[in-house]
Amino acid sequence: MKDVKAKMRENLKEITVSALKKAIDEGAVNLAGIPDFTIEVPQAEAHGDFAANVAMLAAREAKMPPRKIAEIIKDRMEIAGTGIEKVEVAGPGFINFHLSPTWAHGVIPIILSEKENYGRQDIGKGKKVQVEFVSANPTGPMHMGNARGAALGDALASVLEMAGYDVTREFYINDAGNQIENFGLSLEARYLELLGYESQIPEGGYHGEDIKDHMRELIEKEGDRFLSVDPAERRAYFIEYALKKNIERMKKDLADFGVHFDVWFSERSLHESGKVEEVIRILTERGYTYEKDGALWFKATEFGVPKDEVLVRQNGMPTYFAADIAYHKDKFDRGFDWVIDIWGADHHGHVPRMKGALAALGYDPEKLTIIIMQLVRLYRNGQIARMSKRTGRAVTLADLVDEVGKDAARFFFNLRGADTHLDFDLDLAVKQSEENPVYYVQYAHARIASILRQAAEQKVAVPEVEDVPPAEMERLLSKLTCEAEIDLIKKLADFPDVIRVAASTLSPYRIANYTLELASAFHSFYNVCRVLTSDKDLTTARLLLVKAVQQVLQNCFRILGISAPERM
């Protein structure tokens, strides 16, 4: 893994450690060991390119003021031939490293040869991880919350892939249970109603227009023949019919949103294969259940949950929770080393009991990470638009793609962390689409594409990295010395770090933020430095630079699921 920044950090750490060791050996500083310090990038440019905080951490044990320790370390540093131009002690005791301005230039050939793999990490070490997200109710169209989950989950999965995990994207279809019963009753009511019979949608049923559409379509195809069919039987048929349509629709809407799942997992299959029953039996055998009021309960309180939970209802039907336990057991039985669920904030209360159930089954609850995503509050015409499926007037994911566009919507959702409460003003999103930040980053890509087109027209070649000897490459890139160029190159060198942090904190929004920063550095560069000039070497160097920028932008866009336009 080639990472100029990480390598530099390592070098600086080694230099600092050996200087400190020397100081200890000489008795200049009294320490038993080397503190676990970091080499970080200071905020202010005046503080150099990197800084070590070791002196502050050592101060207490050494019983010396940090600045003095820093001076002692600094005096013993061997910096000849390291690219370090100056070492300074500053502030409370930082050791600041000022490097030669070209220290990061080597990142350009690395990007151009690694291409879409630039930034890839190996922290996952090929571990099998499953990301389960969206898992929307198949009883109707997907809403804004599902859209957020889709954008977040897909980007997270991509980030983990970049970090070296073997990722499976999975959608859990809740095609069983009470809601499906209600779905059937609602379909049936609409069916009867459409044929002129009096009928009522039940309590907790679905009032959406889509329910009516399903039945209208069915009547066109099959007429009124279900009037004489046994109600339970015809409801089963309606459910089968409408579920299939809904799931196909969800697949299509998600595909239009740029999200593709590896596995669509049916809840019903867990019931049919006996896995729900099996998991209940195991819990019982392990002594974690008891009967009360005609129901079977899970002793959740033994795992720090406020109250016990029902597994099997009085009527003999297993609860959603029971199926969910079976589902999670199945996930681990399929060999995943790590399971990540993305749930809406309205489900956060179920986290402890799910983990408790896993512990009861003998699995390590630490291997399940549940990301709680705060809900989306949707504004339209200046007021809150309800998202409930039952009102039938929700803004759907498909509407969002139509009105705002896939790229803008996905970028917008991934601009914020999962735990921010998100107000989405649809009118504003549409109205401001011209000023949407997504255009800012895409424009950077399009501008570069335009430069490369111009270069091709002028028969200016951009050399392939493989064809340029390292010494020649170094000579060419040494032409890149103005501030905008240096800043841009450093930004490129940040990318592996960004992947690392985004993956280890499960925060794909960091990619979106970084993309904005990179685009900003590019736009600034563009306004100051002309790429196609009469200076041949400078032109070549800048072409290599912008090509590298374009590559990194593409790598970001791929993670975020947005397109990389050649023209805008």
Query: In the range 130-169, which residues lie near RNA by CB under 7 A?
Result: 137
Residues 175-214 that bind RNA (CB under 7 A): 176-179, 204
Nearer to RNA, 156 or 218 (CB): 156
Asked if 46 is part of the footprint of RNA (rule: CB under 7 A), the reply reads: yes
Alpha-carbon torsion angle 312, 313, 319, 323, nearest 10: 20
Asked if 113 is part of the footprint of RNA (rule: CB under 7 A), the reply reads: no
Cα separation, 12 vs 51, whole angstroms: 9
Give the range of 219-227, 239-247, 287-295, 398-406 binding RNA by CB under 7 A.
287-295
Chosen residue from 4, 23, 74, 96 binding RNA by CB under 7 A? 96
Cα separation, 205 vs 217, whole angstroms: 20
C-beta of 391: minimal distance to RNA in Å? 15
Give the range of 87-95, 160-168, 361-369, 467-475 binding RNA by CB under 7 A.
87-95
Q: Is 261 left (phi over 0), alpha (psi -120 to 50) or beta?
A: beta
C-beta of 423: minimal distance to RNA in Å? 5
User: Is there a contact between 142 and 397 (Cβ–Cβ < 8 Å)?
Assistant: yes
Secondary structure E strands in 91-245: 94-99, 128-132, 166-173
C-beta of 470: minimal distance to RNA in Å? 26
Chosen residue from 78, 92, 125, 256 binding RNA by CB under 7 A? 92
Chosen residue from 387, 422, 473, 488 binding RNA by CB under 7 A? 422
Question: Please, what sign has the CA dihedral across residues 241, 247, 250, 254?
Answer: negative
β-strands 368-373, 338-344 pairing: parallel
User: Is there a contact between 20 and 75 (Cβ–Cβ < 8 Å)?
Assistant: no
Residues 448-477 that bind RNA (CB under 7 A): 449-451, 453-454
Chosen residue from 406, 526, 547, 557 binding RNA by CB under 7 A? 526
Which candidate, 257, 214, 245, 243, places its Cα nearest to that of 398?
257
CB burial of residue 60 (10 Å; 0-12, 13-18, 19+): exposed
Nearer to RNA, 474 or 554 (CB): 554
Looking at 26-119, list the stretches that DSSP marks H as alpha helix, in order from N- to C-terminal side.
Answer: 54-62, 66-75, 107-114
Cα separation, 540 vs 246, whole angstroms: 54
User: Is there a contact between 516 and 438 (Cβ–Cβ < 8 Å)?
Assistant: no
Chosen residue from 189, 509, 545, 557 binding RNA by CB under 7 A? 509
C-beta of 375: minimal distance to RNA in Å? 6
Angle between helices 536-560 and 107-114 in degrees, nearest 10: 50
Question: 128 - beta bridge partners?
Answer: 166
Which candidate, 318, 321, 317, places its Cα nearest to that of 309?
321
Asked if 419 is part of the footprint of RNA (rule: CB under 7 A), the reply reads: yes
Residues 429-448 that bind RNA (CB under 7 A): 434-435, 437, 439-440, 443, 446-447
Give the range of 44-52, 251-259, 360-368, 475-483 binding RNA by CB under 7 A.
44-52
Chosen residue from 375, 390, 474, 563 binding RNA by CB under 7 A? 375
Nearer to RNA, 223 or 349 (CB): 349
Asked if 383 is part of the footprint of RNA (rule: CB under 7 A), the reply reads: no
Give the range of 22-30, 46-54, 327-335, 471-479 binding RNA by CB under 7 A.
46-54
Chosen residue from 269, 301, 369, 524 binding RNA by CB under 7 A? 524
Give the range of 1-9, 144-152, 286-294, 549-557 binding RNA by CB under 7 A.
286-294
Asked if 48 is part of the footprint of RNA (rule: CB under 7 A), the reply reads: yes
Asked if 59 is part of the footprint of RNA (rule: CB under 7 A), the reply reads: yes
Residues 221-260 that bind RNA (CB under 7 A): none
Chosen residue from 18, 334, 501, 537 binding RNA by CB under 7 A? 501
Asked if 307 is part of the footprint of RNA (rule: CB under 7 A), the reply reads: yes
Give the CA angle between residues 419, 150, 137 to the nearest 5°: 100
Q: How far is CA 39 from the centre of its chain?
A: 27
